Amino acid sequence: MSAIRGAFSKDELRAKRVGVLFGGLSSEREVSLRTGAAVSGALRSLGYDVVDIDVGKDLPARLSAEKVDVAWLAVHGRYGEDGSLQGLLESMFIPYTGSGVLASALGMDKVYAKQIFIAHGIPTPPYRAFRDEASALAEKDSLPFPFPVVVKPSREGSSVGVHICKTRDDYEAAVRDAAKYAGTLLVEQFIKGREVQGGVLDDEALGVIEVRAAREFYDYDAKYKAGTGTQYLFPAPLPLEQYARVNEVCLGAHRALGCAGGSRSDVIVTESGDVYLLETNTLPGMTATSLLPKIAAGRGIDFPALCERLLLGASLKS
């Protein structure tokens, strides 16, 4: 892979104060704490001057007080992954890792992301979007695709609020739960197939990993709790043409959204070999069970090297 760098060299970055921003105020705070701890430890092991910053309402003051020169973003969910944090850093002229304001906002909102994917010819499951619980419930008998369906809030990550609904009773309960979270409600046709994930780093496809969850699907518990029986297979044991197609789709989604740094996309491969992109994560998790680090490791990039690679791409995007 080519060595794509950002605004700084390694030597320049070692002379700067690197703020690892984690925690935050979203439903994914717990995951972000793990990501932040892992990234902070990795960068310190490489000799960087790192300060840990738990993101709260006092963030601008903390960034100034700690004299942060560059920000490594380890904040997931709302207020961190949705363009809000990126906008703050742009206004403070602090270079940061990952995608910019627009790509982050688009990637975080599943409905807008789907519209982008469709416009770029990227296959994604048929869907309906509803502005609130009442409108979603009112159309439970007139969805344009059969059950089972998937119900999810449009602006949460880590499978928070996501439900597979096999019956109308399931659907009603799922809609009420998903409505507790941010954004519109997204209802998708359920696509049965193998769950795989594709990683992209510095605008190159890294590879594809297959996730075999012991649970019904790769939900929050399967992603982050130990002992769930989830298996990870890298490289994903797909026929070569399907593997290449998944890489193509994930890189296409990364580029369509305008992502930078790393991204990870969720994909379903059907029994007939069709590929469907579910969503793209513009700020992937970096925990012990996270998939982008597993994919990178399979390509010979260990965790500290991956963290450094992302740091080297830190920049202002506006």
Residue 247 designated active-site = no
CATH 3.40.50.20 domain range(s) in the chain? 10-97
**Strands 17-23 and 70-73, sheet pairing:** parallel
Residue 266 designated active-site = yes
| pLDDT number for residue 2 | 34
Residue 52 designated active-site = no
Which of 43, 69, 66, 44 has the alpha carbon at shortest distance from 55? Answer: 66
CATH 3.30.470.20 domain range(s) in the chain? 107-123+192-305
Assign domain 127-189 to its CATH superfamily: ATP-grasp fold, A domain (3.30.1490.20)
CA 278, 183, 180 angle in degrees (round to 5)?
Answer: 105
The angle, 0 to 180 degrees and rounded to 10, between the axes of the packed helices 29-45 and 303-312 is: 90
107-123+192-305 carries CATH number 3.30.470.20: yes
Residue 156 designated active-site = no
What does the pLDDT look like over 196-220, one tens digit per residue? 999 999 999 999 999 998 756 545 5
What does the pLDDT look like over 229-278, one tens digit per residue? 789 999 999 999 999 999 999 999 999 999 999 999 999 999 999 999 99
10-97 carries CATH number 3.40.640.10: no
Query: What average pLDDT does range 178-186 have in this prediction?
Result: 86
The angle, 0 to 180 degrees and rounded to 10, between the axes of the packed helices 240-257 and 110-119 is: 110
Catalytic residue among 26, 104, 158, 265: 158
**Strands 194-201 and 185-189, sheet pairing:** unpaired
Catalytic residue among 198, 281, 290, 309: 281
Residue 227's pLDDT band, with cuts at 50, 70 and 90, is low
Catalytic residue among 48, 181, 224, 243: 224
**pLDDT greater than 60 at residue 3:** no
